[in-house]
Every structure is written in C-alpha cells, then in structure tokens.
Structure 1
C-alpha cells in the first residue's frame, strides 16, 4: 500500500483534482450503458473523489467505491452526502482489495490502470478483479495508448491548459514536463502550476502497456476481450489513438 501512495502527489489535494478533472464525463454514458446490462453491486476501483461513482449511484445503481487514498475518499463521501446518495466507500489497495461480495460489473476509469507500474502490480490487480467478478461478469477500464505522440514528447516544459481557481479566483497556467523510460515503459511527469503569487510542482509516474501485451495479459488472467475502442464513443482502435478502452468478460 505504501508504494502506491508514494506515487500519489497529484492526489494529495482532492479539491484541486476535482477542479482539473471533474468536467470529464465522456465515460459516464458508456458505463451506464453497461451497468444497465447487469444487476447487483457495481465496483468502481480507484474511484478517487467519486467522479464516476456518484453519477452511477444517481442513476440508481448500487455502488461500491474503492481507493487507496483516504483524502480522496473523504471528499467523495462529502459530495455523496451533499446529494443524499448512499455509496459504500472502501479505503483499500486496489491491487489487493477484499470485499464480501462478488459483482457482475467492475470498472476502473481515469486511466487508473497506468498506476500499476510493474508486471507484479498489474498481475495483482487483475487477480483481485477476477476474484471479485462473477463468471461472465464484465470488467471495463481505460488506459492511454502508447503512441509516438504520447511517449516521444520533448523533455522540456509544455503548456497544457489554464483555468480559474474557484477559491482564489486566480488564473492557473498548467505546464508539464515528461521523460519516458522505454525499458521500464514508464513515463515520468512533472506538472507545474503557475499562479500570480506562487508556483507549485508535482510529480507522477505512469505505466504504458502495448495492445498485444495487454491482450496476452488479460487472457492469462481469465478474461475474454469483448471490445477494444479508442474512446468512450466506441470508435474502433486505430494507430492514431490517444486511449484504449477495454471491455472484458470473465471466463469460467
């Protein structure tokens, strides 16, 4: 558990995380579509502040949110209570989580799969998912596509985006610096946020997995690939993709 938290600077401030990420909702209709095909509790792994968990609960599904970061879960719990939504929140390591249920639908979104940095981490995650899925159950996740444009970024500061901080009303200019390690398949990111009166810098490391590598990994752990898309609008995967969206079924 400690190792995962060591790579969690970007998640130390859940309010900041929400400001920069909560507007992304492309995956919600896709998840609801698949949730409508099943019944029983649905598990959101690496749920963070409940960006996907809460909308699905609002849509009437029984939700369990699992995350290793207590600060993120506390904000998720606050937001759910604010909307009078009941969700079971579990502070656990997603690579070795333990729930007293089996589910027919488990997902992890927000490119969370990339936080499992080693082969062992990926194996443990998929074993835990498989253990908690009913036979024939669905596992959905997204991860960035390891294309040249994503991996071969210059190791110099690049502008990403700007926004206005809700609390301070200051403009925040966000820049990134990335360095790819092709041996370990790890991208080391630094994110710089510049405001009128200060500057902050955080770091994170993400793992990239190639499509054929992913296919073999999933089959090894008892999954059948149902679909592979390059976005949440179900566009078939192509060589110029930015993301890979996997829909898998537990076999046996």
Structure 2
C-alpha cells in the first residue's frame, strides 16, 4: 500500500464532492440497528479524518489507523478542532494491533481495494474481527469488478484547481486490477513543484469477500448496493458490507 506522501496534500480537495455526512448517516443506520450509539469506533485507513470527524460529531470516540504519516498529521490537525476524544496510530491494515477492543470498525472509500492479494484481505478481516467487542459491527465499502473493468480502466481524469494541477490516469493491468498514476503540480507560493505517485487497486468478487469474512469469523453478513438497502446489481460500482461478530 502506498503512503501517499504528496497525494495527502491535495486529497481533501479531490474528495470535496464526497458527502461524508450522508455516508456517515448510512453507516450509522447499521450501528444503531445493533445498539451501537456511543463508545469507541475504529476508523481503519482513516486518511485525513473526514469520517472520523463525523463519528466524533455524533458522540463516538475514535481510533484512527493509517499507513501514511502525512495523512495522519493532517487528520490530527483537523480532529483537534472537535475535541480530544480520538487517537491516531500509524499502521498497516494487515497487521495492526489495538490497545483495546472497539464496538465497531468502519473502512471507507474503497480502502480494501488497495490490498492487492486476497490473503492480505483475509488478514485484515481477521484483525478487524479480533479488534471488535462481542456483537461488534464491521462496515466497509469496495469498488466492484464492474467499476474497475468498465469505468476506471484506461480512463484519465484532470483536476485543474487554484493551487494544484493533477492528472489521474487509470491503466488496465489485468482483470480486476487497475494501476493509478498521479502526476501533480502543486503551487508552493512561488512556483509549481511536480510530484508523481502510483499504486494499484484490486477488485474482488462478492463470493471472495464473503469467503474471507467467514474465514475471519464473521457470520451475520449483509451486502448492499451503494448507500441503499438494495441487493447488488450487475452494474453496481460500489458495495457496502455489514458484518457482525457473534
């Protein structure tokens, strides 16, 4: 998984169209269904803390984990504006260990797709399972195979903003796998600095993810089309998985 050293500086602007309150309300629906209305929630691959902020605003304590020190530094500065009921840890999804168990874990915006081997996905799910209290809930979303193969693959997106210019180039690598190449020009006050980064995302079938979840110990598992209570469609681009530790 890439650390997004320079990408972190422009990440929030690139995701400003993401309705985090709406996504939180959707996730919170499942937490409430399972009588989770307070306590500590793990924000896995928390990035710059946008979902953590929603959790804190709604009365939860937060443990955020991310591999990128840059992302965590930004998250820390942002979360301090909402109190001190959070802690941030640098760690990999596949091998982190918490200092206490949590009532729920969320993993948002296709972070699971950054794991490029199903064995790493299984390790991550096992870590989550072991981090949860009894009857704890795990909610995560993933990009689908359809989105990788038909929407992202070989398409290029350009972001021309006031302080940066970014070319986001997607390359089809193989079935389910997309390589993302980022070429950034960031204004430093006098001139533009150029940075480049690349990483791959892998999509997994529903059956593969269900199998990995079952191996981790989860049994009550539901899968929905993005931000709905509808079953997955043939052309679903993002799916949500709701899993319970029982």
Partner of 2:76: 77
TM-score (norm 2): 0.85
Partner of 2:143: 144
Partner of 2:217: 222
CA contact (8 A) 1:225 1:246 kept: no
Task: Report the secondary structure of 1:52's partner residue.
Answer: helix
Distance 1:78-1:238 versus aligned 2 partners, 3 A rule: same
Distance 1:173-1:92 versus aligned 2 partners, 3 A rule: closer
Partner of 1:57: 56
Q: Number of paired residues?
A: 237
Partner of 1:232: 227
Task: Report the secondary structure of 1:88's partner residue.
Answer: strand
Cα offsets for 1:167-194 (capped at 9, x unmatched)? x3x6x36442312323xx4321223457
Cα offsets for 1:11-40 (capped at 9, x unmatched)? 534220111114412421112323443142
Aligned counterparts of 2:134 and 2:186: Cα–Cα separation in 1: 51
Partner of 1:179: 172
Unaligned runs of at least 5 residues, structure 2: none
Partner of 2:8: 14
Bigger drift between 193-202 and 137-146 goes to: 193-202
Distance 1:69-1:195 versus aligned 2 partners, 3 A rule: closer
Question: Is residue 2:161 matched to residue 1:164?
Answer: yes
- Report matched runs for 1:26-105 at 5 Å: 26-36=22-32, 37-38=35-36, 39-105=38-104
Distance 1:54-1:155 versus aligned 2 partners, 3 A rule: closer
Aligned counterparts of 1:154 and 1:234: Cα–Cα separation in 2: 25
TM-score (norm 1): 0.83
Aligned counterparts of 2:201 and 2:53: Cα–Cα separation in 1: 25
CA contact (8 A) 1:151 1:180 kept: no
Partner of 1:203: 198
Aligned counterparts of 2:3 and 2:230: Cα–Cα separation in 1: 31
Task: Report the secondary structure of 2:231's partner residue.
Answer: coil
Aligned counterparts of 1:8 and 1:190: Cα–Cα separation in 2: 14
CA contact (8 A) 1:46 1:112 kept: yes
Distance 1:82-1:117 versus aligned 2 partners, 3 A rule: same
> Pairwise CA RMSD of aligned residues?
2.5
